[in-house]
Amino acid sequence: MEQLKQAILKQAGESWVDLIGFAARDRFDALEGAANPFSLFPEGKTVIMVGRRITRGALRGVEEGTNLADYSMFGQSWLNDTFLSQSTFDLVHCLERAGWDAMPVVPGKPSPGVDFAYAAVACGLAEIGLDGQVLTPRFGPRQRWHMILTDAPLASDPLLDRTVCDQCGQCVDLCPLGALDRQSSTTRLICGKTFTVAAINHELCKKCPNGVLGPADSLGQPDRTAMFCSRTCIEHLNEQGLVENRFKQPLRKRPAWRQDADGRPLPALDGAGKPVQD
Ligand code: SF4
Ligand code: SF4
């Protein structure tokens, strides 16, 4: 089986996969019902999580407020439906050439209830940040995921041995709509790892005008990767050196635009998160 795993990893490299991790079935014992990916393929033995980066350039126009459309393609539809789908297909092909079933699973409506965030942690690739987003040491919140379920019994990868979120609280403190509440945080336990997650008012997020909201995930929660909260997190992680894909220049080059729930302008924020007065 180690030979097969190496063949999959080689194919992943050739198919521009940025993140790949393996978790055997026992890592999902705590997940009940539809949340457990093996509910889709009861004879499956292994989950493989496959991720590709959301390029930071795709967020540039959103951060500036000058071009919100390109993110919808390069950061959402094309990335998910074309680039990542091709990578996932290549890996499915690789497994099937070796004689194993391989079921591709995409997030959202095709896989209602499946907990992709749990799977990313179980595969040793990620953690859950204070803002509830899946964070990886390479990209923070900047990636999209597909999943492959296979009946090949592949060994689990080690769980992540470091943290990404430093609990800075900027995502909570600077949310223009006050949708995150640190006082009502909950603790999430996944494969023995515990994460503190602020309470999130998803209904407020669904009408948030501060970015480009993506399609709902398999749990029905909105994708906030290009929203003000996540862009603030991306900037913080880059500035503090907490991600590996680090940039020489900041994402936030000037006071960041913000709007209230009705789309009215709020005071922009400088790099330190302080309102800038006209
Ligand atoms: S902004 Fe800070 S507290 Fe919020 S998720 Fe990012 S690192 Fe964690
Ligand atoms: S999506 Fe908008 S309302 Fe929700 S946490 Fe992010 S900035 Fe706040």
pLDDT of 278 above 60: no
Interatomic CA distance for residues 209 and 127, integer angstroms: 27
Among the bound ligands, the one closest to the CA of 236: 1
Q: Among candidates 218, 47, 45, which has minimal Cα distance to 121?
A: 47
Contact in structure between 244 and 138 (CB atoms under 8 Å): yes
Q: Is residue 161 part of a domain?
A: yes
Q: Per the domain annotation, does 215 fall within a domain?
A: yes
> Domain for residue 208, yes or no?
yes
Please tell me the distance between residue 172's alpha carbon and the centre of ligand 2 in angstroms: 9
Examine residue 34 and state whether it is found in any structural domain, yes or no: yes
Q: For residue 76, tell me if it sits in a domain.
A: yes
pLDDT for the residue numbered 70? 93
Rounded Cα gap, residues 75 and 117, in angstroms: 18
Task: Return d(Cα 27, Cα 7) in angstroms, integer.
Answer: 23
Q: pLDDT digits over 36-73, tens only? A: 999 999 999 999 999 999 999 999 999 999 999 999 99
Q: Kindly tell me if the per-residue pLDDT of 5 is higher than 60.
A: yes
Residue at 270 is within a domain: no
Instruction: Look over the chain and give the mean of its residue pLDDT values, rounded to a whole number.
Output: 95
Q: Please give the average per-residue pLDDT across 114-133, as a whole number.
A: 98
The terminus-to-terminus CA distance of the chain in angstroms comes to 63
Q: Is 225 in the pocket of ligand 2 (CB under 6 A)?
A: no
In a domain, 45, yes or no: yes
**What does the alpha-carbon distance between residue 136 and residue 124 come to, in Å, rounded to a whole number?**
10
Q: Residue 216 belongs to what domain range?
A: 2-243
Number of structural domains (the chain) is: 1
Separation of CA 25 and ligand 2 centre (Å): 34
Nearest residue (CA) to ligand 2, atom 4? 205
- Cα 34 from chain centroid? 20
Cα(265)–Cα(256) distance, rounded to whole angstroms? 11
* Confidence tier at 274 by pLDDT (50, 70, 90): confident
Q: Is the model's pLDDT at 272 over the cut of 70?
A: no
Q: Pick the range with the lowest mean pLDDT from 3-7, 180-184, 217-221.
A: 217-221
In Å, how far are 10, 47, 94 from 6, measured between CA atoms? Answer: 6, 16, 11
